[in-house]
Amino acid sequence: MQIWIKKNIGFLCLLLACIFVAPLWANSSTNELETAYKNGNKFYSQKQYAKAIEQYQSILHQGYTSDVIYYNLGNAYYRIGDYPKAILNYERSFRIHPAAPDLKHNLALAQTKITDRFEQVPEFFLWSWWKQFMNLYSTKIWAIFFLCSIAFFLSCLLVYFIGKSYNLKKTAFFTGFFSLICICVCLATTLSSYAQAHLKEGIVLAPQSEIKSSPETGGKTKFILHEGSKVRIEDYIEPYYKVRIKDGNIGWLLQDDLEII
Q: What is the pLDDT of residues 29-78, one digit of tens each?
A: 578 888 899 999 999 999 999 999 999 999 999 888 899 999 999 999 99
Give the mean pLDDT of 155-159: 92
User: In this structure, is the dihedral angle defined by the CA atoms of residues 172, 173, 178 and 184, taken in order, positive or negative?
Assistant: positive
Query: Average model confidence (pLDDT) for the chain?
Result: 86
Contacts of 215 (CB under 8 A, 6+ apart): 237, 240, 242, 252
- pLDDT of res. 40: 93
pTM for the model stands at 0.77
Backbone angles phi, psi at 85, to 5 degrees: -75, -30
Give the mean pLDDT of 213-225: 89
Q: Of 74-83, 125-134, 216-225, 247-256, give the range with the top mean pLDDT.
A: 74-83
Q: What is the three-state SS of 96-158?
A: HCCCCCCHHHHHHHHHCCCCCCCCCCCCCHHHHHHHHHHCCCCHHHHHHHHHHHHHHHHHHHH
Give the mean pLDDT of 128-138: 84
Lowest-confidence pick of 8-12, 90-94, 147-151, 169-173: 8-12
Distance of CA 222 to the CA centre of its chain: 31
Distance CA 175, CA 156 (A): 7
Lowest-confidence pick of 6-10, 49-53, 146-150, 240-244: 6-10
Beta bridge partners of 241: 236, 253
Binning pLDDT at 50, 70 and 90, where does residue 26 land? very low
User: Is 132 exposed, middle or buried (CB count within 10 Å of its CB: 0-12, 13-18, 19+)?
Assistant: exposed
